[in-house]
């Protein structure tokens, strides 16, 4: 991670670290790769899947002071694609040595396309012009393979013996009418290409029967629009004195918030050391927050659509798919961008410009009261800090937004847009498991599940988790009229009991509490997790997808801190049969009372496509919030100043 204002030359020469959690720099990534290639003796046919910072022990980070020595270490995952072997290495960059080199058997890396001589576009071109593919296209009357679009999808794991030990993908196919139009409007239904990613070759064509290509275009880009609305007046966001946040390296201060911005190839946006200043003291809330995993299971059983269950983080990489964001389109106002420093498959450092956007937004009323006796009106407007990143994974876009509010609240929101995954059907067929969005084009029913890993540190490391339900009090002499209700607070003492489900009928929430710290009223301080929209998976318990993505079956999971447990479905979900990650870890039945806790929150969004989702989908929203509950002694936003707004137009009487 580097500041976006740096030139490429400055990026390369940036070796000044403000903090031990700063992501690996451009130079460090290249240095890491050089150490591996020169000293690991793993062969010349190495492809790099992971290069990321090994974060120092938490106690060292919390004790760090400017000027202290920083030990920089990198985790590397490489694939020798000729030998089909995967290795993990720990690299000490200070001493330029390999501290661990371990062969990891019986797993597959996240997607890597191509080899040392070709990138993804060259790889796709090679697949499109494979004789088996060309012949299959000709059988369907398609003469020009250059117009073919192949989207490689994970193949999942359905226990097929001929797939065991191979690094495979399914190539799903669409055909453009002309270069640059929307290929998703014309799926080549029934044609699946099985790809061996180690050998970079087509190993099989699976043909489920020919269906004619849908007839209509589905173009949405501006070059295809005949006219635009003309009745929109300008809407300007102006901050003449600049933004209210301060940035030093990766550290951000805004209002009373303090945090560090990070970025990884798998998780994308990561935020460390989130704290809020209260009465001059910075109080910690979350040590590390990130997207742990996500999966998109589809609900159509035909052909090989049942294999659509993509781990977009673990099998693809959210950071790798991050967009370079643009002012005025993705973000508005006074923007501070951060670049993402990543690497290509050869291990050479690369930069995603403007991978992260940070800005302020007006968010309506923060608090208000009118004293009807005195006529005094007090209103404060809410402003929030927005830290966001957007990733394109094939046909879909995902926007990941962290919001920080002046009252100490935090919100995590995911914005879903892009193009619904399309398949073809025969004329006159009305599909059961999806929606016809155009003649012969079906968008299948599907779900999106996201798991967010929260390394909680509410006023200190040792926390406890409680489930809070609102309950109806029984009728009694005390409750004669049957109107009384109260709350029930249940301590989650063991991680095996820490798999919880939302319950909107009890207004269920979860409190992360520091029992050693008390508020003004003598109660332990807490932050609460409040669910937003959520669902459970619409798949059977013994289904393949439920085994592989067990985190979907609980909305809240609580485990003790373990720096090796970062991803809800384990380190290597690609072609994994299942059972790894959270369902495996909680079998240890570890104590989680007054411990260093990890809270894993799962969001589920069900998408039954609408006609209005075609040809490009309006944004859908899902998320949850994290709010103080007895953390402060009173409303922490009392000191937000009244607005001084003289910018209303001449007809406005409200200012």
Give, in degrees to the nearest 5, the angle at Cα 102 between 98 and 104. 145
Separation between Cα atoms, residue 22 and residue 328, nearest integer Å: 28
In this prediction, residues 398-403 reach a mean pLDDT of 98
pLDDT for residue 11 is more than 50:
no
Separation between Cα atoms, residue 583 and residue 336, nearest integer Å: 39
**Which of 43, 69, 103 is the C-terminal boundary of a domain?**
103
CATH code of the domain in which 207 resides:
3.10.450.40
Residue 313, SS3 per DSSP: helix
pLDDT for residue 415 is more than 80:
yes
320 in Cβ contact with 393 (< 8 Å): no
With 0.75 as the threshold, say if the pTM is over it: yes
Nearest to 452 by CA among 625, 585, 568, 563: 568
In this prediction, residues 428-444 reach a mean pLDDT of 97
Q: What does the pLDDT read at residue 13?
A: 31
Task: Mark whether 161 and 124 lie in a shared domain.
Answer: yes
Q: What does the pLDDT read at residue 632?
A: 98
Task: Mark whether 527 and 617 lie in a shared domain.
Answer: yes
In this prediction, residues 355-366 reach a mean pLDDT of 97
Per-residue pLDDT of 548-576, as tens digits, reads 999 999 999 999 999 999 999 999 999 99
Averaged pLDDT score across all residues of the chain: 94
pLDDT for residue 15 is more than 80:
no
Nearest to 386 by CA among 418, 352, 362: 362
Q: What does the pLDDT read at residue 117?
A: 87
Q: What does the pLDDT read at residue 498?
A: 86
Task: Mark whether 439 and 350 lie in a shared domain.
Answer: yes
Residue 332: pLDDT band with limits 50, 70, 90: confident
pLDDT for residue 648 is more than 50:
no
State yes or no: cis peptide before 121, omega within 30 of 0. no
Q: What does the pLDDT read at residue 327?
A: 78
Residue 236 included in any domain: no
Nearest to 394 by CA among 173, 184, 614, 151: 151
In this prediction, residues 377-387 reach a mean pLDDT of 97
Residue 111 included in any domain: no
Low-confidence winner among 116-125, 275-284, 630-639 (lowest mean pLDDT): 116-125
Residue 364 included in any domain: yes
- Which is higher by pLDDT, 652 or 634? 634
Residue 16: pLDDT band with limits 50, 70, 90: low
Task: Mark whether 42 and 167 lie in a shared domain.
Answer: no
Residue 504, SS3 per DSSP: helix
Residue 481 included in any domain: no
The pair of three-digit structure tokens given for residue 625, joined into one six-digit string: 């919030």
Q: What does the pLDDT read at residue 655?
A: 39
Domain that holds residue 338: 252-465+493-502+510-628
Separation between Cα atoms, residue 407 and residue 413, nearest integer Å: 18
**How does strand 509-518 pair with strand 349-370?**
unpaired
Per-residue pLDDT of 115-147, as tens digits, reads 988 999 999 999 999 999 999 999 999 999 999
Separation between Cα atoms, residue 449 and residue 623, nearest integer Å: 11
Task: Mark whether 65 and 140 lie in a shared domain.
Answer: no
Per-residue pLDDT of 75-114, as tens digits, reads 999 999 999 999 999 999 999 999 999 999 999 999 999 9
Is 396 known to be catalytic?
Answer: yes
Task: Mark whether 273 and 216 lie in a shared domain.
Answer: no
Q: What does the pLDDT read at residue 644?
A: 76
Q: What does the pLDDT read at residue 457?
A: 98
In this prediction, residues 220-225 reach a mean pLDDT of 93
Q: What does the pLDDT read at residue 330?
A: 86
- The structure tokens 């796709």 sit at 124
100 in Cβ contact with 89 (< 8 Å): yes
Number of domains in the chain: 3
Q: What does the pLDDT read at residue 652?
A: 43
486 in Cβ contact with 473 (< 8 Å): yes
Cα radius of gyration (the chain):
26
Nearest to 633 by CA among 381, 281, 289: 281
Residue 211 included in any domain: yes
Residue 488 included in any domain: no
Task: Mark whether 434 and 523 lie in a shared domain.
Answer: yes
Separation between Cα atoms, residue 221 and residue 653, nearest integer Å: 41
Q: What does the pLDDT read at residue 650?
A: 43
Task: Mark whether 203 and 263 lie in a shared domain.
Answer: no
CATH code of the domain in which 348 resides:
2.70.98.20
Task: Mark whether 140 and 35 lie in a shared domain.
Answer: no
Q: What does the pLDDT read at residue 653?
A: 47
Task: Mark whether 287 and 337 lie in a shared domain.
Answer: yes
Per-residue pLDDT of 450-479, as tens digits, reads 999 999 999 999 999 999 999 999 999 999
Residue 180 included in any domain: yes
Q: What does the pLDDT read at residue 420?
A: 98
The one catalytic residue in 87, 396, 403, 572 is 396
Sign (positive or negative) of CA dihedral 455, 320, 29, 48? positive
The one catalytic residue in 22, 115, 300, 312 is 312
Half-sphere exposure of 238 (CA within 13 A, CB side): 7
Residue 5: pLDDT band with limits 50, 70, 90: very low
Q: How many H helices and E strands in the chain?
A: 7, 31
Residue 12: pLDDT band with limits 50, 70, 90: very low
Per-residue pLDDT of 480-496, as tens digits, reads 999 999 999 999 999 99
Task: Mark whether 8 and 147 lie in a shared domain.
Answer: no
Is 646 known to be catalytic?
Answer: no
Task: Mark whether 548 and 415 lie in a shared domain.
Answer: yes
Residue 79 included in any domain: yes
């Amino acid at each position: 991670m580097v500041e976006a204002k740096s030139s490429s030359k400055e990026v390369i020469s940036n070796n000044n670290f403000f903090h031990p959690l700063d992501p690996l720099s451009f130079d460090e990534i290249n240095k890491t790769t050089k150490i591996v290639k020169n000293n690991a003796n793993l062969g010349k046919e190495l492809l790099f899947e992971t290069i990321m910072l090994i974060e120092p022990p938490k106690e060292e980070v919390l004790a760090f002071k400017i000027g202290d020595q920083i030990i920089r270490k990198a985790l590397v995952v490489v694939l020798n694609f000729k030998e089909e072997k995967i290795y993990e290495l720990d690299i000490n960059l200070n001493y330029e040595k390999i501290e661990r080199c371990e062969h990891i058997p019986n797993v597959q890396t996240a997607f890597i396309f191509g080899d040392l001589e070709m990138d993804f576009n060259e790889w796709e071109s090679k697949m499109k012009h494979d004789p088996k593919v060309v012949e299959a296209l000709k059988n369907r009357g398609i003469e020009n393979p250059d117009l073919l679009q192949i989207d490689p999808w994970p193949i999942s794991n359905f226990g097929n013996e001929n797939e065991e030990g191979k690094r495979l993908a399914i190539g799903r196919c669409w055909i453009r009418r002309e270069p640059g139009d929307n290929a998703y409007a014309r799926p080549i239904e029934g044609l699946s290409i099985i790809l061996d990613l180690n050998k970079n070759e087509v190993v099989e064509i699976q043909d489920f029967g020919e269906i004619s290509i849908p007839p209509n275009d589905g173009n949405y880009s501006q070059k295809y629009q005949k006219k635009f609305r003309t009745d929109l007046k300008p809407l300007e966001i102006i901050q003449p004195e600049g933004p209210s946040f301060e940035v030093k390296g990766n550290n951000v201060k805004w209002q009373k918030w303090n945090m560090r911005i990070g970025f990884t190839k798998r998780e994308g946006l990561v935020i460390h050391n989130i704290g809020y200043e209260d009465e001059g003291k910075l109080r910690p809330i979350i040590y590390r927050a990130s997207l742990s995993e996500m999966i998109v299971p589809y609900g159509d059983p035909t052909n090989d659509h049942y294999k659509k269950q993509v781990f977009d983080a673990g099998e693809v990489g959210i950071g790798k798919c991050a967009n370079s964001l643009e002012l005025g389109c993705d973000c508005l106002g006074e923007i501070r961008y951060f670049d993402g420093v990543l690497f290509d498959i050869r291990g050479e450092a690369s930069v995603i410009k403007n991978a992260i956007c940070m800005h302020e937004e007006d968010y309506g009323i923060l608090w208000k009261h009118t004293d009807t006796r005195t006529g005094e009106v007090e209103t404060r407007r809410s402003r929030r800090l927005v830290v966001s990143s957007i990733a394109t994974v094939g046909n879909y876009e995902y926007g990941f937004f962290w919001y920080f509010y002046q009252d100490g609240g935090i919100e995590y929101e995911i914005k879903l847009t892009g193009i619904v995954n399309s398949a073809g059907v025969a004329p006159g067929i009305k599909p059961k498991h999806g929606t016809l969005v155009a003649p012969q084009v079906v968008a299948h029913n599907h779900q999106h599940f996201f798991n967010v890993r929260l390394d909680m540190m509410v006023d200190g490391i040792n926390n406890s988790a409680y489930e809070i339900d609102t309950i109806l009090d029984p009728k009694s002499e005390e409750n004669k009229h049957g109107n009384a209700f109260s709350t029930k607070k249940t301590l989650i003492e063991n991680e095996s009991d820490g798999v919880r489900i939302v319950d909107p009928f009890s207004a269920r929430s979860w409190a992360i509490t520091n029992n050693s710290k008390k508020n003004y009223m003598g109660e332990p301080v807490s932050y609460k997790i409040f669910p937003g929209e959520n669902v459970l998976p619409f798949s059977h318990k013994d289904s393949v997808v439920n085994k592989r993505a067990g985190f979907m079956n609980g909305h809240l999971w609580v485990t003790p801190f373990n720096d090796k447990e970062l991803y809800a479905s384990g380190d290597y979900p690609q072609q994994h049969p299942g059972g790894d990650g959270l369902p495996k870890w909680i079998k240890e039945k570890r104590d989680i009372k007054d411990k260093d806790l990890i809270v894993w929150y799962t969001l589920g969004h069900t998408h039954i496509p609408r006609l209005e989702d075609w040809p490009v989908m309006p944004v859908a929203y899902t998320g949850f919030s994290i709010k103080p509950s007895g953390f402060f002694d009173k409303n922490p936003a009392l000191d937000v100043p009244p607005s001084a707004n003289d910018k209303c137009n001449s007809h406005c009487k409200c200012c």
